[in-house]
Amino acid sequence: LRSFIKPHSLLYNASFNSSTTSKEKKWIQVVENESKKTACVTMQRLPANSLNLEFLNELTSVIKELEGKKFRGMILSSSSPTIFSAGLDINEMYKPEKERLKQFWTALQNMWKTLYVTPLITVAAVNGHAIAGGCILTLSCDHSIMVKPRTTIGLNETRLGIFAPKWFESVFVNTIGFRNAENALKWGTLFTAEEALKLNMIHEVVDSPAQLQEKAEEQMEQFLKIPEIAFKMTKNSLRKPFVDELISYEKEEQESIVKFISQDSIQAVLEKYIENLKGKKK
């Protein structure tokens, strides 16, 4: 969705061009509108925006930088025309060095804690597949809009032979209800945009990237009309308890994940999955 990071984006139209700045990180481009105090945050770790240690830390850093500048909101998007994010980088879990694996999982926890309760207004402009961790990025935003067709979203961890962490499950259950979440998690179901809309996984569906851009910007404008302190306090009151719950067991989870992923049986499953991916690329 490259149009999101161009100066002629509707959110940064001619009347605001003088206050628009673009900052290039390693895997993220941030276009800031100083006048509106909003930003477009575009993930560009191609081809799939897979979440590795450094990428997770970079995304967390970007959010905190915007918070520090007293920005009001951000639109999260992808520069890939077909993938929003394919989730966790499998290479972080295959034949891992245990200390890095622990750092990776800590970075994942920190990113989610930061995104989920950030006082920023967060709008996800989902222009492609949002799988596993990509699904959690979407569900953790205040508003999500997904383009159709040929896009899917969901938590497919069981298909890989692993399982979604407890706090992934909590976000999922809170969004679509226990029974729907239970079935989807067991089967590793990926939903079309239309199916996701019916389950309240996303808020809106559009037909094209151009419409996606327009809708995301319109939604941000509507959010900006809400008194800032009221929005922040309401969001924090609703979401902070779930972050506090993760904090209560995050160290324990880090240790258990390292043990689980390091098992020979799990490594064999991951190896087979990687081989299948390589086969599809040939």
271 or 7: whose pLDDT is higher? 271
Buried b / exposed e along 191-217 (16+ C-beta atoms within 10 A):
bbbebbbebebbbbbbeebeebbbbbb
Catalytic residue among 73, 87, 133, 188: 133
CA pair distance 184, 156, nearest whole angstrom: 8
**Alpha helices (H) in the chain, listed in sequence order:** 53-68, 98-117, 133-140, 157-160, 166-176, 178-187, 193-198, 209-224, 228-261, 264-281
Cα dist from 5 to 8, 50, 223, 255, whole Å = 9, 20, 20, 39
The pLDDT tens digits of the residues spanning 188-231 come to 999 999 999 999 999 999 999 999 999 999 999 999 999 999 99
Tokens linked to 100: 């890095």
What pLDDT does residue 268 have?
A: 96
Average of per-residue pLDDT values in the chain: 92
Residues in Cβ contact with 202 at an 8 Å cutoff, skipping those fewer than 6 apart: 126, 138, 144, 145, 146, 153, 193, 196
Question: Which residues pair with residue 122 across a beta bridge?
Answer: 74
CATH of 28-280, one of 3.30.450.20, 3.20.20.70, 3.90.226.10, 3.30.70.20: 3.90.226.10
What pLDDT does residue 277 have?
A: 80
Of all residues in the chain, what percent carry a pLDDT higher than 70?
93
Residue 37 C-alpha from the chain's centroid: 21
The pLDDT tens digits of the residues spanning 37-91 come to 999 999 999 999 999 999 999 999 999 999 999 999 999 999 999 999 999 999 9
Q: Is the peptide bond before 241 cis (omega within 30 degrees of 0)?
A: no
Please compute the mean of the pLDDT values over residues 145-169 and round it to a whole number.
94
Please compute the mean of the pLDDT values over residues 254-271 and round it to a whole number.
95
11 or 169: whose pLDDT is higher? 169
What pLDDT does residue 5 have?
A: 36
What pLDDT does residue 13 have?
A: 40
Catalytic residue among 157, 160, 180, 270: 157
Catalytic site residue 99?
Answer: no
What pLDDT does residue 183 have?
A: 98
What pLDDT does residue 282 have?
A: 61
What pLDDT does residue 238 have?
A: 97
What pLDDT does residue 16 have?
A: 38
Catalytic site residue 218?
Answer: no
- Sketch the domain layout of the chain as residue ranges: 28-280
Catalytic site residue 133?
Answer: yes
Catalytic residue among 128, 156, 180, 188: 156
Count the neighbouring beta carbons within 10 Å of the beta carbon of residue 58.
19
Catalytic residue among 1, 66, 76, 88: 88
pLDDT exceeds cutoff 90 at 138: yes
The pLDDT tens digits of the residues spanning 13-50 come to 433 344 778 889 999 999 999 999 999 999 999 999 99
Question: Closest Cα to residue 90, out of 280, 272, 238?
Answer: 272
Catalytic site residue 279?
Answer: no
Let me know: does 11 contact 3? Beta carbons within 8 Å: no
DSSP state letter for 51: B
